[in-house]
Copies of this chain bind each other. A is one copy, B any other.
Amino acid sequence: MLTKAIGASRSVRLAMFVMAGLLATASAQAQTDPLPSWNNGAAKQAVMSFVKEITDSASANFVKPEDRIATFDQDGTLWTEHPLYAQAMFALDRIGKLAPQHPEWKEKDPFRSVIAGDKAAMARFTEEDWMKIVAATHTGMSTEVFQGIVSEWLAKAKAPRFDRAYTELIYQPMLEVMQYLRANGFKTYIVTGGGQEFVRVYSEKVYGVPPEQVVGSSIVTKYEDASGAPVLMREPKVFFIDDGPGKPVGINLFIGKRPLAAFGNSTGDAQMLRWTQAGSGARLMMLVLHDDAKREYAYGPAKGLPDTHVGIFSEALMTEAEKKGWAVISMKDDWKRVFAFEQ
Which residues of chain B come closer than 8 Å to A225, judged between CB atoms? 271, 274
Tell me whether A218 and B249 are in contact in the complex, defined as CB-CB below 8 angstroms, given that A229-B278, A271-B225 are known contacts: no
Chain B min CB distance to A132 (Å): 24
Question: Can you name the residue of chain B whose Cβ is closest to the Cβ of A67?
Answer: B210
Which residues of chain B come closer than 8 Å to A61, judged between CB atoms? none
Tell me whether A212 and B257 are in contact in the complex, defined as CB-CB below 8 angstroms, given that A223-B248, A275-B230 are known contacts: yes
Which residues of chain B come closer than 8 Å to A66, judged between CB atoms? 210
Which residues of chain B come closer than 8 Å to A232, judged between CB atoms? 248-249, 252
A87 on interface, CB distance cutoff 8 Å: no
Q: How large is the interface on A (under 10, 10 to 19, 20 to 34, 35 or more residues)?
A: 20 to 34
Tell me whether A252 and B212 are in contact in the complex, defined as CB-CB below 8 angstroms, given that A230-B278, A275-B230 are known contacts: no
Question: Can you name the residue of chain B whose Cβ is closest to the Cβ of A212?
Answer: B255
Contact indicator B212/A271 (Cβ below 8 Å) = no
The interface bits of chain A over 234-277 (1 if a CB of B lies within 8 angstroms of the residue's CB, else 0) are 00000000000110110011111100000000000001001100
Supplied contacts A218-B253, A232-B248, 19 more A-B pairs, CB within 8 Å = A66-B210, A187-B212, A196-B253, A196-B256, A211-B256, A211-B257, A212-B212, A212-B254, A212-B257, A221-B253, A223-B248, A223-B249, A223-B271, A229-B278, A230-B274, A230-B275, A230-B278, A232-B252, A254-B254
Q: Can you offer 10 A-B residue contacts whose CB atoms are under 8 A?
A: A66-B210, A143-B252, A196-B256, A212-B254, A212-B255, A212-B257, A221-B252, A230-B278, A232-B249, A254-B254
